[in-house]
Amino acid sequence: MKKRIVGLETEYAIRYSSLISEKQDNRVLYDLIIKIIPSFVKIADGTSILKWKQIFLENGSAFCYESLPHHIDSGLLEAATPECTSTLELILYQRSIDKLLQQTLEKLNQNQSRLFSKSTISLIKNCKDAYNNIYGAQENYSGVIAKGAFLFLYRLFLIFYLPLLAVYIFFVFIASFFILFFQSVLMIFFYIFYLIYITWFRERNHKFNNYEVFFYPNHKSFFYQFERLSGIVLTFTEIILSFPLIVPYVFILKYFTFRDYKKHLLAFIVTRILFTGSGSINNRGEFYLSEKAMFTKRISRTSNFPADRCIYDPGNLMKLTYLSVLSFFRFEFHYLKELFNNVQRFQIGMSDSCMCQVSELLKVGPLYILMDMIDEGFLKETPQIRFPIKTLKTINQYPNFRTFKIEIKNYKKLKLPSSLTALEIQFWYLNQAKEYLKQKTILDPEYHLIVKEWEQTLNLLKEEPEKLFGKIDWITKRILINQTLMKEKNLKSNNVLDIDGITKEDYIKHYELLKVIDIKYHDLYEGYYYELEKANLTKRFFSEQEIEYAIKNPPKSSELAKIRSSIIKRMQQSYENIKISWNYVKIGSGAISKIIQLEDFKKRRIDT
């Protein structure tokens, strides 16, 4: 197998704070942000049907607007790093995206139009708001989807499933047409009714003397409420209609794909929240290590409900299948070809958005090494947790990870005690990785750096967790919260990095203040993590110059990103209608459009 490709997707919540105006439509705010980006880097429009308002940047990364149909105005900015084959490089590109967005926000907030004067627009890189809405990050690793009989059965299932999906999509289009037609008729009816109403009765009723209540896109407007209601109807119609079709597919995806990774990585992923969690408090005075783990319900997705939060999310494969059929209707077959590839994206849904670079490196680095070990047959037997989700929930609540014993099903085979703490499981994986590097005489310095950081972090978590301030997000956040409480209560602290000593009652009493710290820690504009960074209190792997370089240039380890970047850079002189995607470019539109795979560009040596 070629070197593994890895990528991160991060959803940023959009913040709009104003003293004079109400909450704005996030689509408008997203557009304002995107309009500023070409003043820093070159961009090109994306082709994707499922990603709304997608753009690609000259370093190979992409931005889009992500929302649900019934909350279309309160969506998020989603950023995807270019594909990398080095985890250190991946962290650099994630940092470059954060940096570019920071620069964009600074410029945007300095030069605001009259409409948004006395207001601040920002982005929050976290996974949960103060009202328990979940979004955030996802990790993608290329891996072998299945082998032998499982691969054969998976492909056989697809052959029978795709025609059924095509029929379903055809009927959904017809149903959607009638729903939209019905909506349009209703809109016209209400519009005429309202015009008559305001013309004849306006003087009698001063409550409705303002046209803006009806037309202006705010939360009180009729159009806004109508759009939301239509979204709810469409979403639930789609979910109910597709349910019989989705259930067998998620079953196949769950039991036939990425079986080895899912089995051998589960104990690692459940316990890695010890260093990847970004920390969160709730109004019951409880502190959690990971935001995503709080709402994770199962190991694998079992439906297409947005709230079906899981550790392994095959949503990308579901989207690819859907796209294959949609493109088939347009006589485009590249997605169909991609669907039958042996190597696919293995997607981890339970992934916190990290601010600390050490947390982020340990989120992807050890997993990358462990996947190599699985592919090479080095990890044949790993600890199997008896109740994974229950265990995840328990160790996620501070300070259970220190003492909670996790039951291991196959402890006899592994010659281990029948139960281990989360830290002991991590040490088990670490020792296996060290043995792997030794036996295979792997000299790649990146692998050694990852293992060294992993070992240092585990040792500190065991002995002196407070020394991970500025390196691990949940520890950094917990110390900020505790110190704030000490100041609030006018208590003198002997140890500025005290991680304990605060009661639940204190948390509850000062919840609002502490929650501000919890959220503002992740703010890209004047956020608290960046205060720590400015004061040199965080560990960094990259200089500012390296990050600035990565904003404008593709990763050295990715051929596809290099080709994509080269096309975007040259597009500025071209008059052709060109749209970009992760794997191909589309030249022209409609019947005369032409699709060229990025791989083909490489073969034809078009790239300079």
Partner 1 sequence: MTNTAKNYLIQENKVQAPEIQTVEDKISNTLEFIYYDAKKETSRYLEDTKVEAGGE
372 and 5 Cβ atoms separated by less than 8 Å: no
Q: Which is nearer to partner 1, 449 or 497 (by Cβ)? A: 497
Q: Which of residues 475-494 bind partner 1 (CB under 8 A)?
A: 480, 483-484, 487-488
Confirm or reject binding of residue 76 to partner 1 (CB under 8 A).
yes
74 near partner 1, judged by CB under 8 A:
yes
Q: Which of 199, 490, 494, 536 is the binder for partner 1 (CB under 8 A)?
A: 536
Question: What's the Cα-to-Cα distance from 316 to each of 77, 141, 301, rounded to whole Å?
Answer: 18, 12, 11
79: enclosing H helix or E strand: strand 76-80
Running DSSP on this structure, what letter comes out for residue 94? H
- The whole-angstrom distance between residue 111's C-alpha and the CA centroid of its chain comes to 29
By beta-carbon proximity to partner 1, the closer residue of 92 and 481 is: 481
For residue 155, the minimal CB distance to partner 1 (Å) is 28
User: Considering the rule CB under 8 A, would residue 520 count as an interface residue with partner 1?
Assistant: yes
- Considering only CA atoms, which of 112, 55, 43, 10 is closest in space to residue 363? 10
Phi, psi of 195 (to 5 degrees): -60, -45
- The verdict on 225 binding partner 1 (CB under 8 A) reads no
Which of 50, 167, 188, 516 contacts partner 1 by CB under 8 A? 516
Q: Is 532 in the site for partner 1 (CB under 8 A)?
A: yes
- CA nearest to 279, candidates 536, 13, 539, 520: 520
**How many chain residues bind partner 1 (CB under 8 A)?**
49
Region of 71-79, 169-177, 273-281, 544-552 interacting with partner 1 (CB under 8 A)? 71-79
Which lies closer to partner 1 via its Cβ, residue 296 or residue 391?
296
CA 46 to centroid of chain Cα atoms: 19
Shortest CB 111 distance to partner 1, Å:
18
By the rule CB under 8 A, 363 interacts with partner 1: no
Cα 563 from chain centre: 25
Q: Hey, is 41 helix, strand or coil? A: coil
Which residue number, 198 or 517, has a Cβ lying nearer to partner 1? 517
Q: Is 584 in the site for partner 1 (CB under 8 A)?
A: no
CA 42 to chain centre: 24
* Nearest residue (CB) to partner 1, 15 versus 254: 15
- Pick the binder of partner 1 from 38, 306, 445, 501 (CB under 8 A): 306
Q: Which residues have C-beta within 8 Å of that of residue 179, sequence separation ≥ 6?
A: 230, 233, 234, 237
Residue 456 interacting with partner 1 (CB under 8 A)? no
Instruction: Map the footprint of partner 1 across residues 317-356, applying CB under 8 A.
Output: 349
Rounded least distance, CB 474 to partner 1, Å = 16
Rounded to whole angstroms, how far apart are CA atoms 113 and 384? 57
CA distance 219 to 210: 15
Longest dimension (CA), the chain: 87
Residue 78 in the binding site for partner 1 (CB under 8 A): yes
List, as own/partner pairs, every contact residues 37-42 make where C-beta atoms lie below 8 angstroms and the sequence separation is at least 24, other chains included: 37/63, 37/100, 37/104, 39/107, 40/100, 40/103, 40/104, 40/551, 41/100, 41/551, 41/552, 42/568, 42/569, 42/571, 42/572
Minimum distance, C-beta of residue 585 to partner 1, in the bound complex (Å): 26
Using the contact rule CB under 8 A, the part of the chain among 123-131, 149-157, 368-376, 548-556 near partner 1 is 123-131
Instruction: Rule CB under 8 A: say whether 469 interacts with partner 1.
Output: yes
Cα radius of gyration (the chain)? 25
What is the Cα–Cα distance from 522 to 278, expressed in whole angstroms? 9
Q: Is 133 an interacting residue with respect to partner 1 (CB under 8 A)?
A: yes
Contact between 515 and partner 1 (CB under 8 A)?
A: yes
Residue 537 binds partner 1, judged by CB under 8 A: yes
Q: Determine, following the binding rule CB under 8 A, whether residue 316 of this chain makes contact with partner 1.
A: no
Residue 461: both structure tokens together:
């978590």
Q: Return the range that interacts with partner 1 (CB under 8 A); candidates 126-134, 155-163, 277-285, 452-460.
A: 126-134
Exactly one of 336, 414, 517, 596 binds partner 1 (CB under 8 A); which one? 517
Where does this chain touch partner 1 (CB under 8 A) — which range of 60-68, 237-245, 353-361, 397-405? 60-68
258: left (phi over 0), alpha (psi -120 to 50) or beta: left
Under rule CB under 8 A, residue 364 binds partner 1? no
Closest approach, Cβ 119 to partner 1, in A, equals 10
Distances, alpha carbon 45 to alpha carbons 64, 110, 416, 555, 568, in Å: 10, 26, 54, 20, 9
Query: How deeply is 379 buried, as exposed, middle or buried, from its count of CB atoms within 10 A (0-12, 13-18, 19+)?
Result: buried
Whichever of 98 and 372 has its CB closer to partner 1, that residue is 98
Residue with smaller CB distance to partner 1, 507 or 528: 528
Residue 404: both structure tokens together:
């909670």
526 binds partner 1 (CB under 8 A): yes
Q: Which residues bind partner 1 (CB under 8 A)?
A: 11, 13, 15-17, 23, 66-68, 70-71, 74-76, 78, 124, 129-131, 133-136, 138, 306, 315, 349, 469, 480, 483-484, 487-488, 496-497, 512-513, 515-517, 519-520, 526, 528, 531-532, 535-537
